[in-house]
Amino acid sequence: MINLYNVTIENNAAGNLVIRLPEDMRQEVASDLERRDESTVWADIFESYRCNGSFTPVSPESHYFGLTDDPYMVADDATLEDDGSLTVYGGLYHFPAYQVRSAIQDLIDCGEVTLPRWHTAPASGERRESVA
């Protein structure tokens, strides 16, 4: 799987998710953001990670983790079940300033954005499920 924007995504020492965009890719992301909707560009940022079983964007409609419309939520791993429910494994991260700023624009402007850990799935292999 090709890493479309050559991003790196990792957890920092505080357990938050850090997304880094190389300088030479910022203009490409900015151009894509002008031509395509933000949710598509956000999904593309995570494409190579998601396809390998990690760092999956989660839409506000697909989870029960709180009352939020944050379009930049990301799970360590998530599975869309046959019944339409979403099962999240590990951590869930969010962009607290989503009402006034764009995480993608911050990534373009600064080359990095940090999503704080919001929730953690239960231990010992248990999973946290949303309603269908």
The pLDDT assigned to 124 comes to 41
- Rounded to two decimals, the pTM is 0.81
Q: What are phi and psi of 9, to 5 degrees?
A: -130, 130
Assess if residue 122 is contained within a domain: no
| Binned average pLDDT, 10 residues per bin, the chain of 132 residues | 78 94 94 93 88 79 68 85 80 90 96 88 48 40
- Alpha-carbon distance values, 78 to 22, 53, 92 (Å): 26, 8, 10
**Is 34 inside a domain boundary?**
yes
Does some domain include residue 69? Answer: yes
| 74 within some domain | yes
* 126, part of any domain: no
Domain count, the chain: 1
Q: For residue 12, is it within any domain?
A: yes
The CA distances from residue 97 to 4, 64, 81, 102, in Å, are 25, 20, 30, 8
> What confidence score (pLDDT) does residue 95 get?
92
Whether residue 131 is contained in a domain is answered as no
Does 125 map to a domain?
Answer: no
Residue 83 pLDDT: 83
- Predicted confidence at residue 64, as pLDDT, reads 59
Range of the domain at 18: 8-115
**What is the reported pLDDT for 67?**
65
